[in-house]
Amino acid sequence: MMWFIVTNLALWVMLVGQGSCQPNFPRTTCGGDLEGDTGEFASPGFPQNYRPNLNCVWNIKVPEGRVIFLSFRFFALEMNARCMYDYVSVFNGRAQDAQRLGKFCGTFRPGALVSTSNEIVVKMVTDDSTDNRGFLASFSSGEPHKQIATESFCGGRLEKEFGSFKSLNWPESNYPPGVTCSWHIIGAKDKVIELRFDKFDLEEDLYCRYDYMSIFDGKSDSAQRISKLCGSEVPRTIRSTGNQLFVQFVSDLTVTADGFLAKYSIQDQGSSGSGSTIKSVTYKTTMAPAVTTTSPMIDPCTKACKRTGTMQTNFCTKEFVIVGKVLVIQQRDGAKLLRIAVIRSFKTGRLETSQRRRGDVAKIMLPCPRCPKLKKGKVYIFMGAVDPSGVGVILPDSFVVNFKSKLLNILNNIAQRKSC
């Protein structure tokens, strides 16, 4: 009992009024509808441990024209790197396809969140095994364009003619892990929005899978994505095609960085701004400089684990085509890095190989570690892309098949016909 009191002293102080000797925890139920300017809610049974097999949904609504500021005052759920077992998810609205503002677990208290409308949904799910103390949360309503005095929140709706927004803790320290922030910038119907960055420094990754900023040319994350950004290179100025821009910032539960400072201005549609409406995305890598492509990036792990196209179409469109044996499979920053003993090369493009006593060895990366499923010691036909550092890239839908002698004959015929 003494441990309980000491470890939660800060929480009790917030909830106990002066002159009161008992904590006033909110009544806890498994979900429900919460309406009003302010409110509190907690996991069932809080401050005692929550039960297994919960599926609780809280629908929170504040007055029209206002947004919701949500903060977790206490948080302790079962820990898992991907929050697969016990977790709390927060959604930006009540629609079935509402944007998820975050999915949280463990004992790290999530950063405060701001909605872009007057409704949010909070969902708590638990499995049938490990339990923990749960959570205590509070919400309040506010004007879309107002900044919270403590600046402990991020996100919201921005409607002034010009303004700025930044990552949490900027510029004093790194942004925190495990946050999701969304800014909805809105101008008059005949206006466009120009967005530029004075500072930008997020965790680097070739495919921006961990900490990243996504920018959408519209009112939500279902609009056309203009860019997905990470790394330390300051992005170029971005200009919308219409009167709305949606900016989303996500950080995972591990490495953090300085963060960002962004400024926007709402301009006449015909004005000659310094930005660009070209749909582009910057891929960052710690192995080589950034590469810019005119195709919007898709998270590789959203692709189905099934190869697409035929052997001939892939032979013609992919940068490299090799037959090789898997020598090594290494876990590398959430991906897999393979070393492949090259048995036969049909196309190599920019794929770099190192000379070994028994032949060439190539490096191939699998950004999505779950697929394709490859085994050490097996021989495969690989067809894929090449990153700027000369490492092959195999996605879940890339053409990778077990080697068979009859397939070698087909590859020889395609190469000899030169039909690409």
Q: What is the pLDDT of residues 204-226, one digit of tens each?
A: 887 787 889 999 999 877 788 88
Least confident of 120-124, 269-273, 274-278, 342-346: 274-278
Both ends of the chain: CA-CA distance in Å? 74
Residue pLDDT, tens place only, 236-287: 999 999 999 999 888 876 778 899 999 999 999 876 554 444 333 443 433 3
Q: What is the pLDDT of residue 131?
A: 83
Domains of the chain: 1-143 (2.60.120.290), 151-297 (2.60.120.290), 301-417 (2.40.50.120)
Mean per-residue pLDDT for 117-132? Answer: 90
CA 58 to CA 56: how far, in whole Å? Answer: 7
In this predicted structure, the answer to whether residue 150 has a pLDDT above a threshold of 70 is no
Res 114 pLDDT > 50? yes
For residue 417, the model assigns a pLDDT of 77
**Kind of pairing between the strands at 180-186 and 156-158:** parallel
Q: What is the pLDDT of residue 15?
A: 43
pLDDT digits (tens, 9 = 90+) for 234-247: 999 999 999 999 99
- Residue 40 is predicted with a pLDDT of 94
Record the pTM: 0.47
